[in-house]
Amino acid sequence: MSEQNLIMAREGAAGTLLMNRPKALNALDLPMIQAFQAAIDAWKGDAAVKLVVLEGAGGRAFCAGGDVRAVRDAAIAGDRAPVSAFFTEEYAVNEGIAAFGKPWVSLIDGVCMGGGIGLAIHNGPRVVTENALLAMPETAIALFPDVGTSHVLPKLPGQLGIWLALTGARLRGADALHAGLATHHVPAGSLPALRAALVQSGDAAVVERFAATPPPASFDAHRATIERCFAQPTVLAIIAALEEEGGEWALQQVAILRRMSPTSLCVSLELLRRGAGMTLRECLDAELVLTGSVVHDHPDFREGVRSVLVDKGSTPAWTPSALEAVDPAAIAGMFTPGR
């Protein structure tokens, strides 16, 4: 099963990985995660493998994230062990990619969210095409920016990472490059030739030859607003700053934030502020603690996955329903291990 869902091969000077669960937009299940770990273990010390090339099958997605439906089912069943195994092993893969010691080339030609970002962001190069669509959409399902992004997002320029994580803003390829999530913009039509050059040469620097200048960032006009408003210390202060700013775009961000899980927004902002000063491993450990608190001990995750993926498009009923009712002590408690 894992062989079908993650196709692992040796080609030329490369190890190649193809995420192959196209009906689920290549969302990661536990067998896929275990196959990633097997590839890391097999290729890390193999001098004949100069780099890894990672792609998604099916033409629509790189990887839509984790198999959050299965996580929800386990949470409803009160089953903590499989959830803990899933996130522990997923985050170990994220750390393994960071410490791989050789280029880990991600070719992102479609949807790349959450867990998909975690497979690409800790190493590089990260190639995006005009079809790439990157997002950290977790606050819509009452999760939080995980897979080590709590280490990465606070370092993006001008509070862009805070904006992305709280609103779930979708970035096209060019935007992802300008935000610092991607490293190269390559036309989709050039990907087969790029892939062949990587496999043949084993040299990640060939990516430069295929890179084209992308269009300007669509968020350029809002950079100053993002930098000022998303630097505020609390989610309510961010909203107040956006409302004070006014104008169509800022008020649209307020409307988006008001639809997200209030608890998740507060957890996510706190995690990113803490993550700014922590190592990747420290961030992954904080994220692991939060998975227990968020998935099992709070109703919003189950409700968020229901509203987004089970009863698609329905309105979630959050607990509490408003940011104004979130208890800061409850948020702090979610970061405490062993509850």
Positions touching ligand QUE (CB under 6 A) are 24-25, 27, 64-69, 113-115, 137-138, 140-141, 143, 308-309
Least separation in angstroms between residue 168's CB and ligand QUE is: 7
> HSE of 266 in the Cβ direction (CA atoms, 13 Å)?
22
Catalytic residue among 95, 146, 175, 270: 146
- Give the residue at shortest CB distance from ligand QUE: 65
46 is catalytic: no
Closer to ligand QUE at the Cβ: 66 or 158?
A: 66
Name residue 8's beta-bridge partners.
Answer: 17
292 is catalytic: no
Catalytic residue among 15, 65, 66, 158: 66
CB burial readout 260-272, b (16+ within 10 A) else e: bbbbbbbbbbbbb
Least separation in angstroms between residue 4's CB and ligand QUE is: 16
Least separation in angstroms between residue 63's CB and ligand QUE is: 8
Give the strand pairing for 171-172 and 133-135.
antiparallel
Catalytic residue among 90, 138, 300, 303: 138
Least separation in angstroms between residue 134's CB and ligand QUE is: 13
Closer to ligand QUE at the Cβ: 103 or 292?
A: 292
Residue with tokens 């993002």: 226
Give the strand pairing for 6-11 and 14-19.
antiparallel
66 is catalytic: yes
Closer to ligand QUE at the Cβ: 87 or 100?
A: 87
Least separation in angstroms between residue 13's CB and ligand QUE is: 32
138 is catalytic: yes
Closer to ligand QUE at the Cβ: 24 or 188?
A: 24
Closer to ligand QUE at the Cβ: 14 or 266?
A: 266
**Residue 150 amino acid letter:** S
Least separation in angstroms between residue 6's CB and ligand QUE is: 15
Closer to ligand QUE at the Cβ: 64 or 107?
A: 64
CA separation, residue 19 to residues 28, 113, 221, 334 (Å): 8, 14, 36, 33
Catalytic residue among 15, 115, 148, 292: 115
Catalytic residue IDs:
66, 115, 138, 146
